Amino acid sequence: MNALLQPARLRAALPVLSLLIVVLPMFYLQPQTFSYFGINTLISLAVTIVLATMAQMCVITVNDLDLSIGSFVSFVACVGASVLQQSTVLGIAVLVGCVLVYCVIGMLIEWRNLPSIVVTLGMSFVWLGLALLLMPTPGGSTPEWLQQLVQWHMPVIPLPLVAAVVIAVATHFFLMRSAWGTLLRGAGGNGRALARAGWSLLWARGLMYALAGVFGVLSGLTLVGFTTSADANIALRYTMISIAAVILGGGEFVGGRISPCGAVIGALTLTLAASLLSFLEISPTWQIGAQGVILIIVLSLRAVIGRTRA
Amino acid sequence: MSSTIVSLTDIHKHFGSNHVLDGLNFAVESGECVGLLGHNGAGKSTLMNILAGTLAIDSGEMRIGDRKVAAHSVNDAHLSGIRCVFQELSLCPNLTVAENVRVLHHGLSGWGWRKRAARLITEKLDEIFPDHGIRSDAVTSDLTLTQLQMVEIARAFTEVDVPVKLVLLDEPTSSLDSTTADQLLNYVQTATARQQAVILISHMLGEIVRAADRSVVMRDGRVVATFNRGATKNELVAAMGNVAAETHGSAPARTSNTGELRVDLAVKGERVTARKGEIIGLAGLAGHGQTEVLLEVFEQARRGSSIANGTVAFVAGDRVRDGVFPSWSIGANLSISATPRLSRAGFISLESEAALGQAWRERVRIKTMDMNQPILSLSGGNQQKVLFARALAADADIVLMDDPLRGVDIGTKLEVYRLIQSEAEQGRTFLWYSTELDELVYCDRVYVFRSGHVTGCFSADEFSEDKVIKASFEEVAL
Amino acid sequence: MSPFLAVRTTLSKPWLWSYAGALMVWLITIGGVRGQGAGGIVAAALAFSVFLVLVGLGQMLVITSGPGNIDLSVPSTITLAGVVSMQLMGGASQMIVAGALAAVAVGIVVGTFNYGLIRLLRIPPIIATMSSSFLIQSMAISYNEGARAAPPSTLVAFANGRLMGVPYTAIGVVALAVALGYVTTRTVYGRSLSAIGQNAGAARLAGVRVERTRYFTYAVCAVLAALTGYLLAAFSGGATLDMGDDYMLSSIAVTVIGGTAVAGGRASVPGIWGAALFLFLMVAMLNALGVGAGLRLVITGVLIIGIIIFASKPKN
């Protein structure tokens, strides 16, 4: 029992606990949500936020913050509903280009020692502007193949749930267990040590940002696969939620300490909290406030349990 | 059969107008331990960085083995079997010990890399530091400073695909206690016996005398003297150019003190007390509770409790972590603790601040022409002096010192000892945590710590190094 | 200090470039419209930039207090203060002072709450202020249920009034900026803030009153945001639920472009005005050149990045 109550373990259990606290009342109040259809509906849009959270986590791993992820995902959604629809090849080329841009941004930040907050702030204007140029008014339509892919009715277990688990496991394996992921985390822990050991921090940061770009692209594509049309503002709120989810999941802003599984759970918790509130018939006025309350409660619990660094 | 691992001929290196290396000639053969000595600013760190590949030479010739090297990079150094353990630790705190091994070795990847890394580091730790008790899956940030140093040293000796030929150790024992330092120096002998080479940079002359086959003394960017094994400490010090050599043990007789009681802290096993005008030493192996006592006294004094009576100031040992404000000037760094006194209604008087800076610059002999220069323009020893001046300028009744002279050159140390004595004579109380036995002679009373307990308390007359060492190792039932 | 050295020291100050940028953009604009209304553009710039400066000064203090410290509750505080003060005044001129005090009170409460989250619950500032912003936004929404209150006419006159072409509000905020500049460089609070921003642990050990300084910082930032809400609502004819939205990212932008170090420890007060003017004039210039919203945003973003690159030094 003593081993179970160790601070590290309790802190790791917090994200799971908070998810259960949100999910169990939901199943109690509306038992039919615990069904294929129910889970599918609840988690569908959560997957897009999970992916955005993974992107944010990659950037946080190298001690940076991405204030542009929301507008980036919106831009990708707009591309998906316009360029991709007209020409698959051109659409994919644009999206690959976006990932390269992210990589270059990361390298630029490393090379000139720029504050990521400012650079991503600037990029958030850029992505929003590009989205507006592409789609001045909401509209467009998602290609059929993308809709079918994203909304595929998987037998037995809903696709969104499987997707969330796969994302968590794959990212965990890469970042926490593999030799290369460990190296990238080390870049966040002590970049100088890595440089002294002969690694290129330029590539380390560039790679993490590129990975963030990939997650961002996936997030935007799944989003537009569900909503079937897009607008430039569709995912702006993802920026704040993704930061909150990474922290909720046990990640820290500085030091390269992150938890992929925790971040996924955190993203699910925050998204499902909104649904819980409508089940509890709490006025929409307070839905946004409730997300703040959840964050505060979970973080105070963490402070109570043990040392919090960050 | 020895061969030259690396040789440097007529090396010059500039940092701006600062001629850091001025015609340096240096070579290392396999199977030898070379001690590298010199004041702060002599060029030792620069030499080390050049060998490590983190700095490029401006002119001169560098050879590795028989090969002439044009541009030496970090990867070149690694592939040539050169490993460096810098003073600032190069471990990633968020990674485990085994994962940090992977960081060093580019080839350590692929299936099962974690097990291989764990095995490598554990075997090496067992070899160098028997009974180390460090788990390879421990997260680095959970380790003590001593353990971190052990891991870093052991890691440097690990081999994956490239044999280790030369290991540079920069002040490796600064965070080790006497047992582990002893183990390390023994291992240096083992390593040289199997034809590896070690360069040992240290301020601890005893270590150099014991471990080095050859001692090289640097001054002003070049080698000024070379001694073979058998040279005495005094010969080495004289070559470094310091006239005021061993004056330890000439501290004035401490008279017993009946001044007001300023500190009265109950620590497991004893009460730590300090009166007005006393210099109290906290001794023992590194990391056994001394800093905690200092911080507790700091807290209590700030709260105004009966445990610590009076105003308090703290002199940091780790100046980067606890002391220096890097964006500020020397003057601002010095005056920060005194700002309440220099201000009226919250507004600081710039004239008073400047006057304070000048006064302390002279008193402490800070080597700068202009107190408005950035603090980082000073050498490490001088930065430490500024931190001392800061604590003293705060005019506090109790001054807490967290082993602030570790790694500082002997000249600065002697100046600071004089300062402490004169301040104590004027009634200031000093609580001085020091890991160097030599410094404890200045104290009225020494408390020896082991595992957070006080295992020995010696007044100035009772004091002897042997007693302190014995108390440092006394096993405590926890 | 010799005159040459004085000139060189001044030229190396980071905030100077923001004024240079503002000047350049203004010149391009009046060049583009052939010199017409040049004075009017400056007056408009001052009138609109006032709000961003007021918010930016507060954000600057928070950013200076430590690496990565940002107050994300600024937009929602603007909204809540605007809503609360307008409702309280109910259009009555004699309630103007009460309205201002109500705004200040909102600021103090928000600042205290933020600090409480950070200190008691040991939550990082970005997250703490983000969480509280969610709560504050909800409160503003619920408080606003009902008719939209119009600001008192005298207050509207003040908020829009000018003295020889310079808005009253601008005069006030310039004076505030000068005072704050003095505070950050010459007071115990200012030194403490800079010390904490560079190394909070070392500051504590050096005797700096860390917690007191931090509390003051968050309180002042929230109060300035609240006053911005009060004035902005008066300026625009009433409070709306999205009135604070623009100020989230731009308060950070104006602080950084103005030369304050994002890593903390170095505040640059003069730069806030320069950066705010620069941003406004740039938008005006692009509008005058007929550039659409999308392209304008892209150019703004690229410019922000360009500026920070220009102001930076490569890693050694």
CATH number of the domain within which B93 lies:
3.40.50.300
pLDDT confidence bin for A309, thresholds 50/70/90: very low
Question: What's the domain count of chain B?
Answer: 3
Any bridge partners for residue B36, and if so which? B201, B216
Q: Walk across the sheet containing B4-15 and list its strands.
A: B18-29, B4-15, B59-64, B67-69
The confidence score (pLDDT) of residue A134 equals 92
Decide if pLDDT at B162 tops 80: yes
Q: Which residue of C has its CA nearest to A243?
A: C127
Single out the residue of A265, A294, A276 nearest to residue A26, CA to CA: A276
Give me the amino acid identity at B275: R
How far is residue B318's CA from residue B406's CA, in Å, rounded to a whole number?
9
A307 interfaces chain B, CB cutoff of 8 Å: no
pLDDT confidence bin for A308, thresholds 50/70/90: very low
How far is residue A157's CA from residue A148's CA, in Å, rounded to a whole number?
17
Q: How far is B54 from chain C (nearest CA, A)?
A: 11
Which segments of chain A does DSSP mark as H helices, in order?
Answer: 7-29, 36-61, 69-81, 83-86, 88-111, 116-134, 144-150, 159-172, 179-189, 191-196, 201-227, 238-248, 260-279, 287-305
Query: Which of the listed ranges A197-206, B276-285, B417-426, C33-42 does the model predict with the highest average pLDDT?
Result: A197-206
Nearest-CB residue to B346 (from C189, C195, C202): C189
- The tokens describing B262, both together, are 């300023």
Q: Do C187 and B390 touch (CB under 8 A)?
A: no
CA angle A218, A220, A222 (to 5 degrees): 65
Decide if pLDDT at B221 tops 50: yes
The confidence score (pLDDT) of residue A174 equals 95
Give me the amino acid identity at A3: A
Single out the residue of A230, A306, A213, A246 nearest to residue A57, CA to CA: A246
- Give the pairing of strands B222-228 and B214-219: antiparallel
Single out the residue of A213, A238, A223 nearest to residue A80, CA to CA: A223
pLDDT confidence bin for B245, thresholds 50/70/90: very low
- The tokens describing B116, both together, are 């291989």
Decide if pLDDT at B107 tops 50: yes
Phi, psi of C112, rounded to the nearest 5 degrees? -65, -40
Q: Which residues of B touch C192 (CB under 8 A)?
A: 339
| Residue B137, SS3 per DSSP | coil
C207 interfaces chain B, CB cutoff of 8 Å: yes
Single out the residue of B140, B202, B139, B214 nearest to residue B172, CA to CA: B202
Q: Which residues of A touch B93 (CB under 8 A)?
A: 189-190, 255
A289 interfaces chain C, CB cutoff of 8 Å: yes
How far is residue B301's CA from residue B283's CA, in Å, rounded to a whole number?
22
Residues B314, B319, B320, B324: is their CA dihedral positive or negative? positive
C146 interfaces chain B, CB cutoff of 8 Å: no
Q: What is the mean pLDDT of chain B?
A: 86
How far is residue B476's CA from residue B451's CA, in Å, rounded to a whole number?
7
Give me the amino acid identity at B229: R
Q: Are residues B164 and B212 in the same domain?
A: yes
Single out the residue of A103, A98, A107, A86 nearest to residue A131, CA to CA: A98
- Average pLDDT on C78-93 reads 90
The pLDDT tens digits for A140-192 are: 889 989 988 888 888 888 889 999 999 999 999 999 999 999 999 999 999 99
The pLDDT tens digits for A97-140 are: 999 999 999 999 999 989 898 899 999 999 999 999 999 999 88
Phi, psi of B284, rounded to the nearest 5 degrees? 115, 175
Query: What residue segments make up the domains of chain C, in order of their start?
Result: 15-30+37-310
Q: Do A123 and C305 touch (CB under 8 A)?
A: yes
> DSSP readout, A111-163?
HTT--HHHHHHHHHHHHHHHHHHH-SSSB----HHHHHHHT---SSS-HHHHH
Decide if pLDDT at B387 tops 70: yes
Phi, psi of B264, rounded to the nearest 5 degrees? -145, 85
Q: Which residues of B touch A197 (CB under 8 A)?
A: 74, 78, 90, 103-104
The confidence score (pLDDT) of residue C9 equals 58
How far is residue B348's CA from residue C183's CA, in Å, rounded to a whole number?
10
Tell me which fold the domain A36-305 belongs to. ABC transporter involved in vitamin B12 uptake, BtuC (1.10.3470)
| Optimal mutation site among C308, C313, C316, interface A, most CBs of chain A within 10 A | C308
The confidence score (pLDDT) of residue C205 equals 93
The confidence score (pLDDT) of residue A221 equals 94
The confidence score (pLDDT) of residue B459 equals 87
B90 interfaces chain A, CB cutoff of 8 Å: yes
Q: Which residue of B has its CA nearest to A179?
A: B109
* Other beta carbons within 10 Å of A192: 14
Put simply, the chain A residues between 165 and 194 with a CB less than 8 A from any chain B CB are 177, 179-180, 182-183, 185-186, 188-190, 192-194
A197 interfaces chain B, CB cutoff of 8 Å: yes
Q: Do A186 and B73 touch (CB under 8 A)?
A: no
For residues C131 and C110, is the Cβ–Cβ distance under 8 A?
A: no
The confidence score (pLDDT) of residue A3 equals 55
Any bridge partners for residue B432, and if so which? B281, B401
The pLDDT tens digits for A52-68 are: 999 999 999 999 999 99
Q: Which residues lie below 8 Å from residue B135, measured CB to CB, with a gap of 6+?
A: B97
For residues A83 and A90, is the Cβ–Cβ distance under 8 A?
A: yes
The confidence score (pLDDT) of residue B174 equals 76
B138 interfaces chain A, CB cutoff of 8 Å: no
* Other beta carbons within 10 Å of C164: 5
The pLDDT tens digits for C288-301 are: 788 888 998 898 89
- The tokens describing C33, both together, are 């419209």
- Chains with 3+ CB–CB pairs under 8 A to C are A, B
Q: Which residues of B touch C216 (CB under 8 A)?
A: none
| CATH (one of 1.10.3470, 1.20.120, 1.10.1060, 3.40.50) for C15-30+37-310 | 1.10.3470
Q: Which residues of B292-321 are buried (b: 16+ CB within 10 A; e: fewer)?
A: ebbebbbebbeeeeebbbbbbbbbbbbbee
Q: Do A119 and C295 touch (CB under 8 A)?
A: no
Q: What percent of chain B has pLDDT over 90?
A: 40
CA angle C229, A70, A211 (to 5 degrees): 145
Query: Which of B182, B205, B240 is at the close of a domain?
Result: B240
Decide if pLDDT at C173 tops 70: yes
How far is residue B280's CA from residue B442's CA, in Å, rounded to a whole number?
9
Q: Which residue of C has its CA nearest to A283?
A: C142
Q: Which residue of B has its CA nearest to A187?
A: B92
The region of weakest confidence among A179-188, A268-277, C109-118 is A268-277
| Domain, as residue range, for B263 | 247-311+396-478
- Average pLDDT on B413-434 reads 90
- Average pLDDT on B234-242 reads 71
Decide if pLDDT at B21 tops 80: yes
- Average pLDDT on A10-34 reads 84
Q: Which residues of B touch A199 (CB under 8 A)?
A: 103, 106
Give me the amino acid identity at C269: V
The pLDDT tens digits for B274-297 are: 888 899 999 887 677 899 999 999
> DSSP readout, B49-95?
HHHHTSS--SEEEEEETTEEESS--HHHHHHTTEEEE-SS----TTS
The confidence score (pLDDT) of residue C33 equals 62
The confidence score (pLDDT) of residue A275 equals 79
Query: Which of B202, B217, B240 is at the close of a domain?
Result: B240
- Average pLDDT on B247-258 reads 56
Q: Do B350 and C201 touch (CB under 8 A)?
A: no
Domain presence at residue B322: no
How far is residue A210's CA from residue B58's CA, in Å, rounded to a whole number?
37
Q: What is the mean pLDDT of chain C?
A: 86
The pLDDT tens digits for C191-236 are: 999 999 999 999 999 999 999 999 999 999 999 999 999 999 998 8
How far is residue C206's CA from residue C190's CA, in Å, rounded to a whole number?
15
Residue with more model confidence, A281 or B418: B418
Confidence (pTM): 0.83
The confidence score (pLDDT) of residue A72 equals 97
How far is residue B173's CA from residue A202's CA, in Å, rounded to a whole number?
33
pLDDT confidence bin for A307, thresholds 50/70/90: low
The confidence score (pLDDT) of residue B247 equals 43
Q: Are residues B71 and B56 in the same domain?
A: yes
Q: Are residues B414 and B270 in the same domain?
A: yes
**Which helix (H) or strand (E) segment is B36 a member of?**
strand B33-37
pLDDT confidence bin for B248, thresholds 50/70/90: very low
Decide if pLDDT at B14 tops 70: yes
Q: Are residues B303 and B377 in the same domain?
A: no
pLDDT confidence bin for B451, thresholds 50/70/90: confident
Q: Do B92 and A256 touch (CB under 8 A)?
A: yes
Whose structure tokens read 């730069």? C271
Q: What is the mean pLDDT of chain A?
A: 89
- ipTM of predicted assembly, 2 dp: 0.88
Domain presence at residue B316: no
Q: Are residues B38 and B70 in the same domain?
A: yes
The confidence score (pLDDT) of residue A278 equals 77
The region of weakest confidence among A290-294, B231-235, B467-471 is B467-471
B84 interfaces chain A, CB cutoff of 8 Å: yes
Q: How many CB pairs under 8 A join B and C?
A: 62
B102 interfaces chain A, CB cutoff of 8 Å: yes
Decide if pLDDT at C12 tops 70: no
The pLDDT tens digits for B77-106 are: 999 999 999 877 789 999 999 999 999 999
- Average pLDDT on C276-284 reads 86
Q: Which residues of A touch C130 (CB under 8 A)?
A: 240, 243-244, 292, 295
Query: Which of B240, B269, B285 is at the close of a domain?
Result: B240
Decide if pLDDT at B29 tops 80: yes
Cα C157 to chain center, whole Å? Answer: 23
Q: How far is C221 from chain A (nearest CA, A)?
A: 19
pLDDT confidence bin for A258, thresholds 50/70/90: very high
Single out the residue of C102, C73, C110 nearest to residue C85, CA to CA: C102
Q: In Å, what is the CA distance from C256 to each residue of A282, C59, C263, C275, C284? A: 40, 10, 10, 8, 21
Decide if pLDDT at C39 tops 80: no
Q: Are residues B65 and B112 in the same domain?
A: yes
Query: What residue segments make up the domains of chain A, in order of their start?
Result: 36-305
Q: Which residues of C touch B398 (CB under 8 A)?
A: none
Domain presence at residue B433: yes
Cα B350 to chain center, whole Å? Answer: 35
Q: How far is B417 from chain C (nearest CA, A)?
A: 21
Q: Are residues B471 and B387 in the same domain?
A: no
Any bridge partners for residue C138, and if so which? none
Single out the residue of B331, B262, B247 nearest to residue B297, CA to CA: B262
Q: Are residues B154 and B289 in the same domain?
A: no
- Average pLDDT on B19-28 reads 89
Q: Which residues lie below 8 Å from residue A61, measured CB to CB, with a gap of 6+?
A: A175, A184, A185, A187, A188, A208, A256, A258
Query: Which of the listed ranges A31-45, A232-246, A285-299, B363-377 does the model predict with the highest average pLDDT?
Result: A232-246
Residues C220, C226, C230, C232: is their CA dihedral positive or negative? positive
The confidence score (pLDDT) of residue B103 equals 94
The confidence score (pLDDT) of residue B284 equals 81
The confidence score (pLDDT) of residue B252 equals 59
For residues C29 and C285, is the Cβ–Cβ distance under 8 A?
A: yes
